[in-house]
Amino acid sequence: MVVKKIKHALITGFEPYGTPMRSDNRSWEAVKQLDKQIIETDCATVVCHCHQLPVSYDDVTVLVPRLHLSGEFSIVVHCGSGASGVVRLEKCAHRTDYVRTGNKGPTDLPPNGCVPGYDTADELTTAIDVDSLRNQLEEQGWNELYTSVDAGHYVCDFTFYTSLAEGETTYPARKLPAPQTLFVHVHPKADDVYSDTQLAELLRDIVRDLAQEGI
């Protein structure tokens, strides 16, 4: 009998944003469907912990590290709203050049336009082989996926960098392996390429693939 590992996945989406404010955010509409779900693989049982994040730099600066500390996560998938017609798997995140304000208005910017609190490189790259992950997902029928090295220099990019920096700093301090961390940009419209239900299934497949050995 195979004894499966128990793994925990932190999965986040965002609140609505924009001017005028959108009525919802595709990322959260998809992510919330996985909350408390159990995803089985050949080698692991994955428990999903889903949270909605504010579109605010100050809030992300506090909340994302707090979420990391709330459990021992081996998988972290952040999801945000991106360009129409495509789903993008992001490879890297950036520490600097944040000039677009968040939901709280003109003062909602990080200090000096930078992610605060980490003595880490200006660009951090996920340890996930994103190209291999994309190819594997394509074999499962997900054909509208692209990889990207530009997460947008907005709250999405900021969040991705914060999580990657957490993996480099607080996880070793807690004597834990850094989680596999990914950012997924989904399209903003419910009728564009994939429905909310399909996006939730895509995220489920991403978590399942990441839980397998060697991804």
**Per-residue model confidence as pLDDT tens digits over 110-160:** 999 999 999 999 999 999 999 999 999 999 999 999 999 999 999 999 999
pLDDT of residue 191: 67
Residues 6+ apart with CB under 8 A from 11: 31, 34, 48, 49, 50, 51, 76, 77, 78, 79, 203, 207
Radius of gyration for the chain, computed over Cα atoms and rounded to the nearest angstrom: 16
Residue 215, pLDDT > 80, answer no
- Average pLDDT for 171-189: 95
How do residues 29-48 score in pLDDT, each as one tens digit?
999 999 999 999 999 999 99
Please tell me the least confidently modeled range out of 7-21, 30-44, 94-108, 185-199.
Answer: 185-199
215: buried, middle or exposed (CB in 10 Å: 19+, 13-18, 0-12)? middle
